Amino acid sequence: MTSSQTPTTAAELRGAGLRVTAARVALLETVRGGDHLGVEAIATRVRDRVGHISLQAVYEALHALTAAGLIRRIEPAGSPARFEGRIGDNHHHVVCRSCGAVADVDCATGGAPCLTASEDHGFAIDEAEVIYWGLCPECSTARSS
């Protein structure tokens, strides 16, 4: 990253009804450029770009961006929240039980088929949260050797 202000990102923030700040621009770009980063990792990268920002401010900005639908928050049980820029496709995640590594898993067939619940109980369903748990290649190699 060479510039700290990308017009398109600022325009997206504005379009989502959010006040544009250097920190929010850096935050959105950091989440999009990262791979399911946690809050601490995001804060470190944002500080590298815009200088000091409190963890509290990072939390608040992440919350605003998530609420505006610009980023997605995933929270595997027992692990801290992660954030990603891949939104709107209801993809799933596979999480390593041992080291916490996270990877994307596309929906098994077509577009968001998991939204067709076998019983919707009259709810208007717009998201299905599926988390696959297991061991990542590195951890399974470490265990079997």
Task: Name the one residue in this structure whose structure tokens are 């928050």.
Answer: 73
State the Cα–Cα distance between residues 122 and 63, nearest whole angstrom. Answer: 29
Q: Does 6 bind Zn ion (CB under 5 A)?
A: no
Name the phi and psi angles at 84, rounded to 5: -145, 160
Instruction: Name the residue nearer to Zn ion (CB basis): 47 or 73.
Output: 73
Q: Does 139 bind Zn ion (CB under 5 A)?
A: yes
Instruction: Name the residue nearer to Zn ion (CB basis): 23 or 65.
Output: 65
The reply, when asked if residue 114 is annotated as ligand binding, is no
Q: Does 23 bind Zn ion (CB under 5 A)?
A: no
The reply, when asked if residue 139 is annotated as ligand binding, is yes
What is the footprint of Zn ion within residues 50-79 (CB under 5 A)? none
From 25-33, 57-65, 121-129, 136-144, span contacting Zn ion (CB under 5 A): 136-144
From 26-34, 58-66, 90-98, 111-119, span contacting Zn ion (CB under 5 A): 90-98
Q: Does 84 bind Zn ion (CB under 5 A)?
A: yes
**Which DSSP state fits 81?**
-
State the Cα–Cα distance between residues 120 and 9, nearest whole angstrom. Answer: 37
Q: Are the beta carbons of 73 and 61 closer than 8 angstroms?
A: no
Question: Where do runs of H (alpha helix) occur along 34-104?
Answer: 39-50, 55-67
* Interface mask toward Zn ion for 96-115; x: CB under 5 A: x-xx-x--x-----------
Q: Are the beta carbons of 65 and 18 closer than 8 angstroms?
A: yes
Task: Name the one residue in this structure whose structure tokens are 């601490």.
Answer: 40
Residues that bind Zn ion (CB under 5 A): 84, 96, 98-99, 101, 104, 136, 139
State the binding site: 96, 99, 136, 139
